[in-house]
Structure 1
Amino acid sequence: MLGFDTIVAVDWSGGNDTGATPRKDAIWAAVNRKGLAESPVYLRNRQVAEEWLTALFQAEQTAGRRVLAGFDFPFGYPAGFGAAFTGSDDPLAVWDWLEQRITDTPKENNRFDLAGSLNLKLGSGKGPFWFNGLGRDVSGLARNKKDYANPFNEKRHCENLAKGAFTCWQMGGTGAVGGQMMTGLPVLARLRRQFDVAVWPFQPLDAAIAFVEIWPSLTVGAAPEGEIKDAWQVAEVARQIAALAPERLAEILAVDAPVEGWIFGLGFEDELNTPPLRNDCFALPPGVHWTPVEEALAVLQDRLSPVTGVETLTVPQALGRVLAAPVSALRSNPPLPNTAVDGYGFAGARGAGVHVLPLAQGRAAAGDAPRDLAEGHAVRVLTGAALPLGVDTVVLQEDVQLGDGTIRFSGPVKAGANTRKAGEDVVTGQEILEAGRRVTPADLALMAAVGMREIAVRKPLRVGILSTGDELVEAGETAKAGQIYDANRPMLMGLVTAFGHTCVDLGRAADDREDLRKRLDAASDKVDVILTSGGASAGDEDHMSALLQKAGAMTLWRIAIKPGRPLALGMWNGVPVFGLPGNPVAAMVCTLIFARPAMDVLAGALWSVPQGFDVPAGFTKAKKAGRREYLRARIRDGRAEVFASEGSGRISGLSWAEGLVELPEPATTINIGDPVRYIPYGSFGIGT
């Protein structure tokens, strides 16, 4: 029962009322409801915050929406504190105990006095709490850590793992959470009594409202210039949690810390701190009219980021998936020194001449544990066997004569001959695969060899394919005069599948703006990116670009490329849309050149550049200046030959070709035998 409709993130403060004007170092809250973010809310003091939270929870409860509410202060003290004052290790008993003792108004509270009295009750009056921020002395509470004594751990286990986390014993000062904790837990205790609440990780999250401990600085980077850090961070945390699939959220919440509590997202920082795509992520610099191919690719590489979630799979299940984190070896390969051949092992080198060594009984075979060998003896070893202790050299069995309990061979033999050293391939802890790599069969072998059982991978990118236009009919249907069969959708679906993504068929949309809008709305709930063909220019029936333009998130790229030119890029309900040309040849070329590397990044993979080769031309051509051209081509007799026609409507040329010849922007004349760059389809990740 871990599906939540509404995510709330709250940045708390233990200080006094901060006034009517929104400011930093105050209480801020952010709501993300069903993936839609609301503007952060400024709450000037804890009383206003409690009233706001009460109203919010009441409204969500009335609407039947489940809520996950995160608060940025510790939910538990280090082990032993609760038992010392409440007689119980139950951290929620501490909440109620504090609620009975804290007095709090917008202008003052007694947190420093309570901390001092707790220190005195423990006997020394010198800890665990410290820092007095008042203008008067407080009995039992030092202003600094001079003569400090703490009967408990300085930090909880989770805080020792979270770099930069503050101790809950510090009651004030920059970054301190002790005061926030003492003033925040009583508020949460009262809210628990008023609503159906479960507290993580102390209780099963089967209630209408879940309270979760957060620390925004753990998973959120620096705020953009001009933004209030606290306001921006809570909005980001709410977005991060809302973007998680229920099963992934369940994995992150699967924590066993029943006494001290835990910080949400600890151990998953890199995954959570993935910024969303902006509505202007495809925007080009002002004044750009014809965009060079390299500039367009640079914009995509710079502006896009992964949009896919993360899951854990066994190594065999991970074939074709994108690694979400680097993989490091759990064990060296080989784990022990071993023999590379069948032969006889012994210690040390042997010089020129004939050598005779006594032969020990038995043998060492692959899978046997290393055995001891008497000094000066030899032992039979089989390929792959761990070398017996003391053995570092092996002589081939073909070079040995067996005697009565001895072996005889001629030297010289170098020390270490015919053996493999432990870890000569991979050593324990070595990074063997980088994040963003798509797992290959060879990678499966490598990971298995070093002991990997499970790895974190990106979920497949879900790519929706939509064709537009009244002129289109499905292949096999009756085509009326003026109608054509839809060739783009099956082609694009094949390409997307070959790229390793999950393809979602969105069908065909008529030349009707409202119909297209409904299809985009429906698609944005079930795919990560949308590829459309047709309607991407600026004509009367180019509804795709018109809709994206009206949504305020569209850039019509006029790219200096042939075939192609118009490419409508934009965002629809947070989902990137690639509006490809309607011509099949141009649609395929633009998909290979632009959409393919962009989708790799969205899928969490590394930006990829297709490998091309300089080969002799088997054709002649006079190319004009201005556009980069891609010719359908194949290699025959060591030369690149191109399709007879450059017409963009000649679909047969796509099938005929086995790759593309890329001609740069400047004018050029190509003669037979001149070097040209040939990019095989395989370099784009597709077969011929």
Structure 2
Amino acid sequence: MPFDSILIVDWSGGNDRGPRPKSDAIWACVAREGNADEPKYFRNRQLAEQWITSYLQSESHAGRRVLAGFDFSFGFPVGFGHALTGSDDPLALWDWLEQHVQDGPSANNRFDLAGQINSRFPGIGPFWGNGLRRDIPHLPRKGSERTCDIFPEKRAAEASAKGAFPIWQLSGAGAVGSQVIMGLPMLARLRRALDVSVWPFEKCTSSVVLAEIWPSLVASAIRDTMPEHAIKDAHQVRCIALALSVLPSADLQRLIDVDYTPEGTILGLNAPELLENAIKSSALTPPPLRNDCFAMPQGAHWTPVDIALDHLRDHLQPVTGTEQCALGECIGRLLAHDVTALRSHPPAPNSAVDGYALAGPAPDGPTNLPLVDGRSAAGQPYPGHVPAGHAIRILTGANMPAGTDTVILQEDVNASDSAIAFHGPLKRGANARTAGEDMKKGEVILTAGRKITPGDLGMLAAAGVGTVTVHKRLRVGILSTGDELCEPGETADVGQIFDANRPMLNATVAGWGYEVIDLGRAADKREPLTKILNSAAQQCDVIISSGGASAGDEDHMSALLQGTGSFALWRIAMKPGRPLALGMWENTPVIGLPGNPVAAMVCALIFARPALQRMAGGRWERTEGYLLPAAFEKSKKAGRREYLRARVQDGKVQIFPSEGSGRVSGLSWATGLVELSDEAQVITPGDQVYFLPFGNFAK
């Protein structure tokens, strides 16, 4: 009984809760295959019902099945429904309540209706808990005031679920009665609007299955996985949605396979351990980076480029969660899990050419074969069996009919309406493709960490894959620091320069496929810089700054990171761009680049690119370059790696005339970098040099 989507709703019987998300309100969460959307907050029942109806309709129209769980009782203790409606059908009570409940964002008649229901029965009750200031006839404020005892206090489900409150309680801690009275009418309307089955009253055959849930059934697992400062109601709908979405089909079937009861029951009550284990396993999220992840071994001073890169590779890990992504929307995304073919490609043996299918091989010499009536065409396979010694007309891409395994080209055949003639020999299997020769069902076709390309989309589609699990897009904040900076287009004062780094880095990081958050410019003052970092840590997965990355008096970024106990100042043995400041700010990694534009760009390409790729969930891969002849002369000393702005002309590599890291025009002139290794070198025209095209950094 597979479900494509899980919807979990935490309902409320109260009035409008206002625009800001809060507890004791309405929360909903959708999960698919272990990936949950952000929980949605609804300030009142009207808005929630509109969204729920629209969501379920869209899923049904898309051909997806949904299990929708609601955290209130679907039935009442035995005898109540018949006494009120004259029917033993529990769904008749839903319709009755839908006809009698009056509901608005700021007022409803639930307490008055409960009093009217009580008046139908002898004594006082069964409902209690008048939550209004005014007295309501027949509705006591305390349960101890009731005298009506013709209905059980609890359903069988509540009696066996430790801590469950009776359905008759309308107000106070643990009250569920108001949720039921205000929730069942909404479910009744859903039944009229959609193809719905109600568990456990009906067979679960519809596109939408409604089920009763009770988060407190697995309260300890929810509590143990709840982040600090999280809203409990939001967290628990996400927990249960995730758990049900990852539950194996056999386990979910076990939860659903319960005996019919007119009282209804709680999903998972028969095996709560299955939900608990699923919650614990689905709650796994990427752990934060260690506070000392950037610390080099003690005594390190000038760090070679390769050592620095190896350190990042070994100490970084993915920092983003995962989500389901439709095939048409996942270009450039990073796979979180391996992808297996859902169908072999081709799914059946087929013809590679237009011709005639037969059972091979054909012997040397002239061959005549009678033709079977009909043909096999792509999308219109021949339904019958081709007898031995016969042939059949077949077109390119058509399934090979039963009894055939070989195709002869139509150009090699003389044909009439009833027979063909050709010269052999013809090998068995000629011009025919075998089933699964490209991809086999169940075969891994893409591995985790790969950035999805247009070619991948074609392969995934051919293998029947409609959605994949990808890492959520890495959110990268870009910040420039320095009193000397002003915005391009503004009037620059004496001593000011325009901020070239931020637009350059914004575009570079966006080109890598990440979500860029422009953090603006920060003056050389610690208090405003601290405020920017605090805000950035709440909305970014990584922060990249430029300027203030050294250890001078005005290098406030380095000073602030020093105060976190996570600061590492890497003096890289490279030119340009020696200082890199790295650290953690409220569990968010910070990469501090040099302030000079060329140094900032080179360090971003060489260090930030693979680091971000790793943290985004991708593979650690060095940028691919090419050996090409030099069109320049250059002498360098040993001890550091150098990167020269360069471009290719007439098959040879030219370099920009100046190596100054402030000459930003060289980045516009260049199409890539020449990388010169650490050892001493003398380059003369014609020598092979390693050229790294800028375009390869974006792959």
Q: Same fold (TM over 0.5)?
A: yes
Retained in 2: the 8 A contact 1:567–1:579? yes
Residue 265 to residue 540, structure 1, CA distance change in 2 (3 Å): farther
Shift of 1:239: 5.6
Q: Partner of 2:324 in structure 1?
A: 312
Shift of 1:647: 0.8
Correspondent of 1:473 among 486, 489, 497? 486
Matched, 1:252 2:242: yes
1:584-620 deviations in Å (ceiling 9; x for gaps) = 1000000000000110111111112101111111111
What is the rounded CA distance, in whole Å, between the counterparts of 2:377 and 2:279 in structure 1?
42
Question: 1:159-308 alignment to 2 at 5 Å?
Answer: 189=162, 196=174, 204=213, 211-213=219-221, 237=225, 249=239, 251-254=241-244, 257=255, 258=267, 259-261=270-272, 262-264=274-276, 266=278, 269=281, 272=284, 274-308=286-320
1:131-155 deviations in Å (ceiling 9; x for gaps) = xxxxxxxxxxxxxxxxxxxxxxxxx
Q: What is the one-letter code of the residue matched to 1:331?
A: R
Q: What is the one-letter code of the residue matched to 1:643?
A: F
Q: Partner of 1:440 in structure 2?
A: 453
Correspondent of 2:361 among 344, 349, 359? 349
What is the rounded CA distance, in whole Å, between the counterparts of 1:543 and 1:5 in structure 2?
40
1:13-60 deviations in Å (ceiling 9; x for gaps) = xxxxxxxxxxxxxxxxxxxxxxxxxxxxxxxxxxxxxxxxxxxxxxxx
Residue 295 to residue 643, structure 1, CA distance change in 2 (3 Å): same
1:636-674 deviations in Å (ceiling 9; x for gaps) = 111111111111111111111111110011111111111
> SS in structure 1 opposite 2:695?
helix
Retained in 1: the 8 A contact 2:582–2:590? yes
Give the TM-score of the pair, scaled to structure 1. 0.66
Q: Partner of 2:515 in structure 1?
A: 502
What is the rounded CA distance, in whole Å, between the counterparts of 1:192 and 1:516 in structure 2?
51
Q: Partner of 1:623 in structure 2?
A: 636
Q: Partner of 1:24 in structure 2?
A: none
Residue 561 to residue 672, structure 1, CA distance change in 2 (3 Å): same
Q: Partner of 1:559 in structure 2?
A: 572
> SS in structure 1 opposite 2:278?
coil
Matched, 1:673 2:646: no
> SS in structure 2 opposite 1:424?
coil
Instruction: Structure 2: state its 5+ residue gaps.
Output: 1-8, 11-20, 25-72, 78-157, 167-171, 177-209, 246-251, 256-266
1:388-415 deviations in Å (ceiling 9; x for gaps) = 0011100111111013511011111111
Correspondent of 2:426 among 402, 413, 417? 413
What is the rounded CA distance, in whole Å, between the counterparts of 1:560 and 1:483 in structure 2?
30
Shift of 1:196: 3.8
Residue 540 to residue 427, structure 1, CA distance change in 2 (3 Å): same
Residue 5 to residue 404, structure 1, CA distance change in 2 (3 Å): closer
Residue 333 to residue 574, structure 1, CA distance change in 2 (3 Å): same
Correspondent of 1:525 among 538, 557, 560? 538
Shift of 1:360: 1.1
Q: What is the one-letter code of the residue matched to 1:392?
A: D
Matched, 1:489 2:502: yes
Q: What is the one-letter code of the residue matched to 2:336?
A: A
Shift of 1:274: 3.1
> SS in structure 2 opposite 1:548?
helix
What is the rounded CA distance, in whole Å, between the counterparts of 1:186 and 1:466 in structure 2?
58
> SS in structure 1 opposite 2:605?
helix
Matched, 1:452 2:465: yes
Give the root-mean-square deviation of aligned CA atoms: 3.3
> SS in structure 2 opposite 1:341?
coil
Q: What is the one-letter code of the residue matched to 2:242?
A: I
What is the rounded CA distance, in whole Å, between the counterparts of 2:325 and 2:213 in structure 1?
25
What is the rounded CA distance, in whole Å, between the counterparts of 1:357 and 1:240 in structure 2?
78
Q: What is the one-letter code of the residue matched to 1:476?
A: G
Retained in 1: the 8 A contact 2:597–2:661? yes
- Select between 499-508 and 395-404 the one with higher mean Cα deviation: 395-404
Instruction: Structure 1: state its 5+ residue gaps.
Output: 7-88, 94-184, 216-233
Retained in 2: the 8 A contact 1:558–1:565? yes
Q: Partner of 1:374 in structure 2?
A: 387
Correspondent of 2:625 among 602, 609, 612? 612
What is the rounded CA distance, in whole Å, between the counterparts of 2:409 and 2:279 in structure 1?
50
What is the rounded CA distance, in whole Å, between the counterparts of 1:304 and 1:404 in structure 2?
69
Residue 252 to residue 404, structure 1, CA distance change in 2 (3 Å): closer
Q: What is the one-letter code of the residue matched to 2:442?
A: G
What is the rounded CA distance, in whole Å, between the counterparts of 1:685 and 1:369 in structure 2?
44
Matched, 1:364 2:376: yes
Residue 511 to residue 214, structure 1, CA distance change in 2 (3 Å): closer
Retained in 2: the 8 A contact 1:265–1:272? no
Aligned length: 491
Correspondent of 2:586 among 569, 573, 592? 573
Shift of 1:253: 3.8
Shift of 1:375: 2.0
Question: 1:115-154 alignment to 2 at 5 Å?
Answer: none
Retained in 1: the 8 A contact 2:240–2:279? no
Shift of 1:238: 5.1
Matched, 1:329 2:319: no
What is the rounded CA distance, in whole Å, between the counterparts of 1:210 and 1:631 in structure 2?
60
Q: Partner of 1:15 in structure 2?
A: none
Q: What is the one-letter code of the residue matched to 2:433?
A: R
What is the rounded CA distance, in whole Å, between the counterparts of 2:220 and 2:597 in structure 1?
51
Retained in 1: the 8 A contact 2:221–2:279? no
What is the rounded CA distance, in whole Å, between the counterparts of 1:270 and 1:648 in structure 2?
48
Shift of 1:271: 8.0
Residue 522 to residue 534, structure 1, CA distance change in 2 (3 Å): same
Retained in 2: the 8 A contact 1:364–1:381? yes
